[in-house]
Amino acid sequence: MSRGAIRRRHPGAVVSLEENYRAIALIRAFEDRCSELKAAGEIPGSIHLCNGQEAIPVGACRALESRDALTATYRGHGWAIARGIPLVDLFAELLARDSVLCGGRAGSPYFSSAAHGFLGENSIVGGGVPMAAGAALASLHDGRGAVSLVSIGDGALNQGAVHEALNFAAVYSLPLVIVVENNVYSEMTPIDAMVRIKPLSRRADAYGIPGLTVDGNDADTVTDAVGAAVVRARQGGGPTLIEALTERLVGHYSGDLQHYRPAGELASAREREPLVRLRHAAVARGQDSTYRLDEIDREVAELVDMSLASARTISYPDARTVADHVYA
């Protein structure tokens, strides 16, 4: 796994403030660089960044093993990085180069990595949940004890396919963990206006599975919740739905002006976001600690620079291969 990879947290093992900061800062730095690349026209198509939501993939992936399956959405850069997909490969895919991931066929919103058990992002809202249930079904039959984790957004809970897949997984007690990243909005519409319940984890009861709502801006809290769900799933206890509360610090997609967000919302969100929190904690611990974080920022920036630089050396996919890989 690359330097970007997350170390698995063993039961009881404590993750240092620095380790959490590094993992989150790496994703943040990647996303910020993507914004620049998009603005500079180096990334074609629209991108959906996870700024502010990084603690969720970071915390969740710590609870997974390499044999486990992971499925995400178009807002999946953070999940890919937390899963250990090298930044160079991600940059290459986003830059529409001939990356080892999907060779530019997928781009930012739809890439996958078979080598990392990453079934892929999905640009159909909720479209990946049936697939994730299927990965859990495979595990039930191959006896490998793998768990399948799928991330979706709050708005995806209103998609029919998600409903069908959650009930399907519940019926067979499939080893599935559903992480709902509630970032307040579905595209430009507040989720509160599109459901009549709160918290969203209440939906779990409709399938007879446990549901809980946790602070998605604290990686350790997420690891604890997902870890417990993973253990239950491996033991045949079936699916768990975990709602992780968070906030988007950027637009839904590149070019979203966010005129729909009330004044002050973003400002206050910036006080609650994961990196700032860890900074506050570090300050409380004293200068050495903050120096360390500054150092991590530099290391992370360097890794991003290096990764981008080598990604830029990768050629664009050859037009003559356009019709390859449609069939076996």
Ligand X SMILES: Cc1ncc(C[n+]2csc(CCOP(=O)(O)OP(=O)(O)O)c2C)c(N)n1
Q: Which of positions 29-88 make contact with another protein (CB under 8 A)? A: 43-46, 69, 71
Binding of residue 318 to another protein (CB under 8 A):
yes
Minimum distance between the CB of residue 201 and a copy of itself, rounded to whole angstroms? 11
Identify the residue among 197, 260, 283, 305 touching another protein (CB under 8 A).
Answer: 260
For 60, the token pair is 């969740």
Binding of residue 153 to ligand X (CB under 6 A):
yes
Binding of residue 172 to another protein (CB under 8 A):
yes
- Tally Cβ neighbours within 10 Å of residue 313: 9
Helix, strand, coil shares of the chain as percentages rounded to 5? 45, 10, 40
Task: Report which secondary-structure segment, H or E, holds 87.
Answer: helix 87-94
Could you report how far apart the first and last alpha carbons of the chain are, in Å?
29
Torsion on CA atoms 67, 12, 58, 202, rounded to nearest 10: 90
Q: Which of 179, 149, 26 is nearest to 91 (CA)?
A: 26
> By the 8 A CB rule, do 93 and 108 touch?
yes
Identify the residue among 64, 72, 146, 308 touching another protein (CB under 8 A).
Answer: 146
From CA 202, how far away is CA 211, in angstroms rounded? Answer: 7
Binding of residue 108 to Mg ion (CB under 5 A):
no
Identify the residue among 62, 97, 203, 252 touching a copy of itself (CB under 8 A).
Answer: 203
> By the 8 A CB rule, do 53 and 77 touch?
no
**Residues 19-58: x where in contact with ligand X by CB under 6 A, - otherwise, as a string:** ----------------------------------------
Nearer to another protein, 23 or 180 (CB): 180
CA 232 to chain centre: 21
For 286, the token pair is 């004293």
Minimum distance between the CB of residue 188 and ligand X, rounded to whole angstroms? 8
In degrees and rounded to multiples of 5, residue 152 shows phi and psi of: -135, 170
Amino acid present at 112: S
Identify the residue among 123, 173, 221, 310 touching ligand X (CB under 6 A).
Answer: 123
From CA 7, how far away is CA 83, in angstroms rounded? Answer: 9
Binding of residue 183 to Mg ion (CB under 5 A):
yes
Binding of residue 78 to Mg ion (CB under 5 A):
no
Minimum distance between the CB of residue 203 and a copy of itself, rounded to whole angstroms? 5
Nearer to ligand X, 20 or 186 (CB): 186
Binding of residue 160 to a copy of itself (CB under 8 A):
yes
Residue showing the smallest CB distance to ligand X in the complex: 153
Binding of residue 51 to Mg ion (CB under 5 A):
no
Binding of residue 327 to another protein (CB under 8 A):
yes
Binding of residue 195 to another protein (CB under 8 A):
yes
Check residue 113 and report its DSSP letter: B
Instruction: Tell which positions 129-158 bind Mg ion, by CB under 5 A.
Output: 153-154
**Residues 228-247: x where in contact with another protein by CB under 8 A, - otherwise, as a string:** --------------------
Q: Which stretch binds a copy of itself (CB under 8 A): 144-152, 188-196, 265-273, 295-303?
A: 188-196
What does the DSSP assignment read for 290-324? Answer: HHHHHHHHHHHHHHHHHHHHHHHTSPPPPGGGTTT
Identify the residue among 84, 109, 211, 227 touching another protein (CB under 8 A).
Answer: 109
Q: Which of 39, 90, 82, 38 is nearest to 307 (CA)?
A: 90
The residues of the shown chain that bind ligand X, judged by CB under 6 A, are 75, 123-125, 153-156, 181, 183, 185-187, 252
